[in-house]
Amino acid sequence: MQDIPILSRRRLQAEVIQPIYDEMVKRLGEDEAQSILDAAIRRAAIAEGANLASQAPDGETSMKSFIDCFELWTRGGALEIEVHQATDERFEFDVTRCRYAETYQEMELGHIGQLLSCNRDECFCEGYDPKIKLERKQTIMAGDARCTFRYRYQR
């Protein structure tokens, strides 16, 4: 599965999730369907983070190891970013183009794109290394011009 770029994985996952989500909306209503989807995706992101952490060099996670694996999300031009800072304590960048958002829009899933993708970011950190905290005030998925990622390593 690691050989498949994350953007391609998200598209495949969305193709499976879409009819399930549509059925949940019919039976439970949009709010409940979104709540269930949100909880499931967050749990999956924590597990994904823990799995990647288990592959960290020497079994030790850090901001450096986190930055080193970030290429997985940008592979194939999935994200265009402007890095502001990449140190042992901080990883700050803006996403100026998000093909994840574009993909969900093309699939007519833009209304749940935040749940399918953006909500993963903070939860992923929880599984990878709970000392890594994310602050993000803007996302392209929510209609902003850019995503503002501000990761901090808290000792």
Residue of 127, 116, 121 whose CA lies nearest to 149 = 121
The residue type of 44 is A
What's the pLDDT tens digit per position in 40-79? 999 999 999 999 999 988 889 999 999 999 999 999 999 9
CB 106 within 8 A of CB 99: no
Please state, rounded to an integer, the average pLDDT across all residues of the chain: 95
Phi, psi of 79 (to 5 degrees): -130, 140
Overall fold of domain 6-153: Muramoyl-pentapeptide Carboxypeptidase; domain 2 (3.30.1380)
- What DSSP element (H or E) covers 141? none
Helical segments of the chain, H only: 6-28, 30-53, 63-69, 71-74, 99-106, 113, 120-128
- What DSSP element (H or E) covers 55? none
* Domain spans in the chain, listed from the N-terminal domain onward: 6-153
Q: Is the pTM of this model over 0.85?
A: yes
What's the pLDDT tens digit per position in 135-155? 999 999 999 999 999 999 998
> Rounded CA gap, 128 and 53, in Å?
5
Q: Which carries the bigger pLDDT value, residue 57 or residue 126? A: 126
The pLDDT value recorded for residue 2 is 62
Residue of 89, 3, 2 whose CA lies nearest to 52 = 2
> Rounded CA gap, 105 and 107, in Å?
5
CB 129 within 8 A of CB 152: no
- Say yes or no to pLDDT of 1 above 90: no
> Rounded CA gap, 22 and 30, in Å?
9
Tokens of 126: 């929880």
The residue type of 86 is A
